[in-house]
Structure 1
């Protein structure tokens, strides 16, 4: 059987959660100095699940210091509030808002992944009462696996673009999480590419360990939300490193499957980054919160090159418009071929500061292709 690399060559086609209110704890310069190298042993995720039935959940002392809190609640996306405790005391209350995302086989459920470095307690309020919370520490667990090597390029068949690339094995995906009783929770499907959608994670900026953040996003999507995998096909950190997202097969080619469509373009693995509009929609997420600041130059440059690579392989016009139709559920929408999450649904993603830059991004991607 042809693998995807040889198939692509043969076809000739190849050469979050937005929060408002009082500030939660931020990373200090000492925390930044403790950044773990990407090729270090991968720590096991520390995870403690808490079921909430009343209006308020108070955890004055968590089992371990947190890096993240993953929450899923009943009710409206803007019906939750949070405050956290660190060694210096309690923060003010702030609203947390869910970002509209779910795979096409799942209905949308309000939830958020919150970066809470150094938090040792928290209180969560939801209007409806019921919630599932997972306390996470993505950096301090026992180290059981060795990270795969970081590559110098993102390769899709004979096409490549210059950017450090971390496969799932390099950033530390625990593949066992994708299975329940030995059965894959989110089976792979492939569809013709129609659109490229840009997101931000709405997490922390100046992240000292972006691989740990990717592992937390994976756990939140895969386990807390019960999707069975991460919803984005690719992620990019502030240094411009590219991370493989949604699993796409058993070889080294990200995003694409082995089959081709009627035009000879390779089919895209199904993601879960825009509720009800995922099939054929490739999601690329920049790590960070771009509500009040722009992405780093390195992240922006990698995003441009990655989108150009995807547009070339899929035969998409980066400055065009797409009449998108979801082949799974029939949902239709006319959007720019390179769009932001908010072009599809009511969300602030990919950030108030970054969103106006998308037109220039489209032009830069077109220039990269030319």
Structure 2
């Protein structure tokens, strides 16, 4: 589903008072994925789940529970390899296995992939990226694979939206007028594929300095995270840049509110389903300068006024 192409509302020249004035119904116009992308999205739709888990945590999916018992380094070969000891359990049956990073196998109707095991010094250190799916929902090339593979073998996980969640990309440098936001997105897409095995950018929509909205991954499929929270059900809106060091403009807040209001309306959700990444994980995302507008109620008031006008 694509948003209708309507004109952007909210300009940086507006004074703060107008930020609380309800705007016309409808979402902001969206710059399609095909306009900015370096490559089309990858991924294969499947009945599946993907989560980052630390030792002692479990991933439950359908009748299967996978528990990460321990992460280790196997130094018996030519090169050290990260491994995880896991317990599999379903319908009264259970089994423990030691599995290598990047491996995949089938067990009692389920396909399981150890996409990554993040070690010391890596983003997500101590976490194991697990992907499980029903074998019946997979094409033979995936179902019979003994390797987890890269971004091209990742699964698109359908979900129903239950939350509208604000992020920032958290770049090392803030987004400036000299930067090309489309290039930032291409960089994020390439990095996500090569370093995190993501089939597309992790967010559903991303905003630049002018509040222009870029289409990210298809919002009917679950997004991604480098933390332990479950992005399933979250409509992910991300500000391009680092909002621990840069402040949002009025125009950006207007665009966020427009998009949040549309997402709530389209998914029949109450206003209290608006939140930030930090509400669901140990993180400062979306940055201190955006958090203030979530915590002081500004964004909720702006969104509510938009909903009242529809």
TM-score, scaled to structure 1: 0.45
Query: Are 1:338 and 2:269 matched, yes or no?
Result: no
Alignment of 1:274-353 (within 5 A): 275-318=228-271, 320=272, 337-353=273-289
Deviations 1:64-83 (A, max 9, x none): xxxxxxxxxxxxxxxxxxxx
Deviations 1:24-47 (A, max 9, x none): xxxxxxxxxxxxxxxxxxxxxxxx
CA distance in 1, matches of 2:165, 2:236: 5
How far off is 1:342 after superposition?
0.9
Does the residue aligned with 1:163 lie in a helix, a strand or coil? coil
Partner of residue 205, structure 1: 175
Greater radius of gyration (CA): 2
CA distance in 1, matches of 2:239, 2:158: 23
How far off is 1:282 after superposition?
1.1
CA distance in 1, matches of 2:290, 2:149: 42
How far off is 1:201 after superposition?
1.4
The structure richer in strand per residue is: 1
Runs of 5+ consecutive residues of structure 2 not aligned to the other structure: 9-23, 45-147
CA distance in 1, matches of 2:215, 2:41: 17
TM-score, scaled to structure 2: 0.53
How far off is 1:185 after superposition?
2.5
CA contact (8 A) 2:150 2:197 kept: no
Alignment of 1:175-254 (within 5 A): 175=40, 184-203=152-171, 204-207=174-177, 208-246=179-217, 248=218
Distance 1:270 1:162, change over 3 A: closer
Q: Hey, which bits of structure 1, 4+ residues long, moved more than 6 A?
A: 179-183
CA contact (8 A) 1:178 1:222 kept: no
RMSD of Structure 2 on Structure 1 (CA): 2.9
CA contact (8 A) 1:272 1:278 kept: yes
Aligned mate of 1:272, from 220, 224, 227 = 224
Distance 1:183 1:293, change over 3 A: closer
Aligned mate of 2:31, from 166, 170, 173 = 166
Larger relative contact order (Cα-Cα within 8 Å, sequence gap ≥ 6): 2
CA contact (8 A) 2:25 2:306 kept: no
CA distance in 1, matches of 2:204, 2:183: 17
CA distance in 2, matches of 1:222, 1:195: 25
Does the residue aligned with 1:298 lie in a helix, a strand or coil? helix
How far off is 1:278 after superposition?
1.2
The structure richer in helix per residue is: 2
